[in-house]
Amino acid sequence: MKTNFSLLFYLKKRNKYEGGALPIYLRITADGKRVEITTNRTCEPSRWNSKAGRMSGNKEDARDLNAYL
């Protein structure tokens, strides 16, 4: 039996978002069942690459965050 499995890192905006860093969430999907958990990390929306699911840039903070993810 084959299992479909995927991971997605994304920024989650709150209802009363007024700017600043957003929390990074992880969505795990296995056989169509989804679970979302927080990574306890944040990122500025302008520095987030949604296609790659990573923080853009080459600075130390971006490298550290991407290594954590």
User: 3-39, pLDDT tens digit by residue?
Assistant: 889 999 999 988 887 888 999 999 999 998 999 999 9
* pTM metric for this prediction: 0.86
Length of the chain, in residues = 69
64: three-class secondary structure by DSSP: helix
Domain range annotation of the chain: 5-68
Task: Give CA–CA dist 69/59, Å, rounded.
Answer: 16
Residue 29 burial by Cβ neighbours in a 10 Å radius (0-12, 13-18, 19+): middle
| Rounded Cα distance, 60 and 13, in Å | 25
What values do phi and psi take at 68, rounded to 5?
-65, -45
**Banded pLDDT at 69 (limits 50, 70, 90):** very high
